[in-house]
Amino acid sequence: MKTHLPRLLLFSCVLCSLTGCATPTRDSTAEPVASTVAYNNNNEVKLVGPVSDGFNDYWYKGKAELTSYTLEQARYGEIHQGNAVLIFVTEDFSRSKQVKLDNPTQAGDDSVNVLKLNFTKNFNTGIYPYSMMTSVFTPVQRQKNPQTLKITTSSQEWCGHTFTQLNLNEQSYRIQQNSYFERDGDQTLSLDGAIPEDELWTTLRLNPEDLPTGKLQLIPGTMFQRLRHLSWTTQSATAQLQPVAGNSQLMSYTLTYPELERTLTIEFNKAFPHEIESWEETYQSGWGQGAQPLTTKAKRNKKMLVDYWTKNSVADEALYKELLDF
C-alpha cells in the first residue's frame, strides 16, 4: 500500500447551523504526519487522509452526495430486484459520546469532523420487503484519528428486526447486537486487532491510497453478518487494489474471505472525488442442499448533491423520484 505526505490542508472554520444535518465545522490542521496504526497483527499501516486540492470545496459546501444504484440482491438462494442508496456527508461528531454534535463550536477538543456514510438497501423477497441501513462515521483527518469511531446497522423485514452497533473503545470495538432471532439474540462483546469492512467504503472516498492491501484481519460487513447470521469474530482476508481492465478511469478494490467463501469488489473512479460506480458481492446464498454461490450486484444510477435535510415537503418528493428514477 502506498502512502505519502499530502500538501498542506487548510480548513477554515464555518458556523454550524443548529438544525438538521448542517454544514460541519472544518478541521484546522498543520502539515500532517502520517500516523502509524496496527491494523492487523504485526503489520503497521500509515494513514494519510485527504490529499486532493478539491476536497474542501466538494465536501464542505453544505450538501450531501446522494447516489442511487440498481440492486440485484442475493437472498434465499435467488436474486431479488431492488435499489440501494449511498449518502456521503461530512459532520461534526463527539469523540467521547460518539454522536452528532448539536453545538460543535462549544465542544472544543471533543469535536471531530467525520465523513458519514448512510448505506441503504431495499428489496423484496416474495411477499415481504427488506429494508436495511448501515451508518459509518470515519474521521476525515486520519493521521490524527485513524480509526472509524462508530458503525450501526439495522434490518427490518416482516419476520422481525435487528440492530447492531460498533463503538471504538481505544483499539477495540465494542459490539452490541439486539435481534428478534434466537440464533442471533442480544449480546455484547469486543473485537480487536481488525479493521471493520464497513470502514473501507469511507476510506475509499477519503483517499483510496489509504486502502489496506495484502493479508488482513477484518470484521466482515455488518449487512453481510445480518444476512448470514454469523457469529461475531474477525476473519482472515486478502485485499487487492488495481486498475479495472479496459477502463483506465476506474479502479477496483477486492476483498477475498477464504473461510467465508466470499468476495467483495468495489469499482470506483480513480480521480477525485472517487465516486463508487458499482460493486459485486459473491457468497453462498440459501440453506442446506439448496445453497449455492450467488452474486449481489449494484450499478450506479443517478447522483445528486443536495441538502436533503431541508427537502422534507410534499413538493420535494419529486427529488426522491428523480434520484431513484421512478
| Amino acid letter, 157 | E
Confidence check: pLDDT of 13 > 50: no
DSSP 8-state code for residue 108 = G
Q: State pLDDT tens for residues 70-83.
A: 999 999 999 999 99
Q: State pLDDT tens for residues 144-185.
A: 999 999 999 999 999 999 999 999 998 899 999 999 999 888
Q: What is the pLDDT of residue 38?
A: 45
Q: What is the pLDDT of residue 180?
A: 94
Beta bridge partners of 174: 167, 190
Q: What is the pLDDT of residue 25?
A: 54
Q: What is the pLDDT of residue 9?
A: 36
Confidence check: pLDDT of 48 > 90: yes
Confidence of residue 289 (pLDDT cuts 50, 70, 90): confident
Q: 235: which residues sit within 8 A by CB, 6+ positions away?
A: 217, 218, 219, 220, 257, 259, 260
d(CA 108, CA 288): 54
Q: What is the pLDDT of residue 46?
A: 83
Q: What is the mean pLDDT of residues 279-297?
A: 92
> Taking Cα atoms as reference points, which of 239, 276, 236, 296 lies closest to residue 260?
236
Quote the mean pLDDT of the chain: 89
Extract the C-alpha cell encoding 179: 435481534
Confidence check: pLDDT of 116 > 80: yes
DSSP 8-state code for residue 313 = S
d(CA 36, CA 144): 10
Residue 277 — φ and ψ, nearest 5°? -90, -35
Burial of 286 per CB tally in 10 Å (0-12, 13-18, 19+): middle
Confidence check: pLDDT of 218 > 90: yes
Q: What is the pLDDT of residue 44?
A: 62
Confidence of residue 102 (pLDDT cuts 50, 70, 90): very high
* Range list of H helices, 207-313: 222-228
What pTM, to 2 d.p., does this model score?
Answer: 0.88
Strand (E) positions, the chain? 35-40, 43-47, 64-75, 78-94, 111-125, 128-139, 150-157, 160-169, 172-179, 187-192, 195-196, 214-219, 235-244, 247-257, 262-269, 276-285, 292-306
Q: 39: which residues sit within 8 A by CB, 6+ positions away?
A: 45, 194, 195, 212, 216, 217
Confidence of residue 45 (pLDDT cuts 50, 70, 90): low
Confidence check: pLDDT of 101 > 50: yes
Q: What is the pLDDT of residue 2?
A: 44
Q: 319: which residues sit within 8 A by CB, 6+ positions away?
A: 304, 306, 308, 311
Q: State pLDDT tens for residues 258-273.
A: 999 999 999 999 999 9
In the chain, % of residues over pLDDT 70: 86
Q: What is the pLDDT of residue 290?
A: 79
Q: What is the pLDDT of residue 22?
A: 54
Extract the C-alpha cell encoding 239: 485485499
